[in-house]
Amino acid sequence: MVQGIVNWNTQTTQKWLQNYVDDWVNFYQKNTNEGEVASYIPILQEANQQHLGISILGINGMEIRSGNVEIPFTIQSISKVFTFIVACIQRGVSYVLSKVDVEPTGGAFNSIMHLETRQVKKPFNPLVNAGAITITSMLIGDTAERKLEGFYQLLEKILGYRPPLNIDVYQSENESSVRNRAIGYYLLEMGYLESELDLTLETYFKQCSIEITIDDLARLGMILANDGEDPSTQEEIIPRQVARLAKVLMLTCGMYDASGKFAAYVGIPAKSGVSGGIVAVAPPRARDHQLPFLDGCGIGVYGPALDKQGNSIAGIRLLRHIANQWDLSIF
């Protein structure tokens, strides 16, 4: 893409990069007409299907933002990566992995069928609902607020503020999520849950209803790209082993039954949510050519129109384009 030595941190090159990203966001804006905004949680239907935004934050501090960057949205399934991390910190990696496996399902995020037909001894992975609800049951605390305290503390440490709970989304999800209750009862019957069912589901619905922005996602992704360490303070926020495990899960299971395609065509760990957010992680890469963000970056995308798997259509196309242009693939 670029010949010769480039210092990406100069204002001129940053502006040049910004123009490219603006063009790409404008181009992929047309894809927001495809797919549909999630409706199984009624309040999510209020999102504007036309919105598309991206925020990129380099480990070196460089920032590029474009499109609808200011729109707050709920974290939804992206929370699963971070409750998994908190469970590993609180309970130890080997204990967590003895309760939830690390295998992709190849099925929908809210599938129950796989658990029953394949006679598994534990849910497939922490990023599908069955595994995520099991992980939530493992968080320490006897109320939803206490159970979520570790999650809030982790977010606050990374983001520098405590993101709010969107109470309307929580109520809408609590009132409508028959499928998650069915999954919960199945987990209960199988003896997988470590806390009482109603408490576990209340906590799970609340963790999904925390409101964030794409800048937050870019920062969360950037910390994972840097193996859990804050590059400006060198503080270890997430233990390296846990950060790496989270990235493995994102790559193999983070985009549900589209994870294989995402790995093939984009090639970086990512996690989506039904409100249209995606967090993507581009680790540092050693290449002999000159490309931006060689030191690694986190990327947050928002585009609420989803495909059948529950992933943002325009968001994935935009990520794919950027990953190819900048050779972000880890493979």
Catalogue the active-site residues: 77, 80, 204, 256, 274
Helix (H) or strand (E) holding 305: strand 305-306
109 near ligand DON, rule: CB under 6 A: yes
- State how far the Cα of 152 lies from the Cα of 206, in Å rounded to an integer: 11
DSSP string, 20-51: HHHHHHHHHGGGGGSSEE--SSGGGGGS-TT-
Residue 208 CB, nearest distance to ligand DON (Å)? 4
Residue from 208, 212, 214, 294 binding ligand DON (CB under 6 A): 208
Residue showing the smallest CB distance to ligand DON in the complex: 77
Q: Is 68 annotated as a binding residue?
A: no
Of residues 4-43, those binding ligand DON (CB under 6 A): none
How many Cα atoms within 13 Å fall on the side-chain side of residue 73? 36
Does 274 show up as a binding residue in the annotation?
Answer: yes
CA distance readout (Å), 38 to 250, 311, 314: 21, 10, 14
Rounded Cα distance, 199 and 262, in Å: 34
Distance CA 205, CA 171 (A): 9
62 secondary structure, DSSP code: -
272 scored as a contact of ligand DON (CB under 6 A): yes
In which residue are the tokens 């209750």 written? 181
Question: Using CB under 6 A, which of 49, 55, 66, 129 touches ligand DON?
Answer: 129
**By CB under 6 A, which span of 3-11, 187-195, 271-279, 314-322 interacts with ligand DON?**
271-279
Closest CB 107 distance from ligand DON, rounded Å: 13
* Choice between 58 and 277, CB closer to ligand DON: 277
Establish if 76 lies at the interface with ligand DON (CB under 6 A): yes
Which residues lie near ligand DON (CB under 6 A)?
76-77, 109, 129, 173, 177, 180, 208, 272-274, 310
